[in-house]
Amino acid sequence: MRLHRKMIEEINLAALDKVPEEELRKQVKEIASEYVLAERLPLNAQELDEFSGELYDEMTGLGPLEPLLKD
């Protein structure tokens, strides 16, 4: 729940369609990295990339279905 709240506070959800995809992905990864460090979660770089990608898909698309739709 804390991560969800932080994402809402840090990212302007109303402007998602105006922010370039790479910039938004960067913002999501930065927030995810801060969260992982603060919570001392044992994630390696690949897991952090996957985690931030899943967060991005949740925010901008259909969550876990998004990768399937891209195929």
Whether the model clears a pTM of 0.85, i.e. scores above it, the answer is: no
Nearest to 39 by CA among 49, 26, 48: 48
Range of the domain at 34: 2-70
Structure tokens at 15: 């402007």
pLDDT in tens, the chain (71 residues): 688 888 888 888 777 788 899 999 999 999 999 999 999 999 999 999 999 999 998 888 766 666 666 76
Count: domains in the chain:
1
Q: How far apart are CA 43 and CA 20, in angstroms?
A: 27
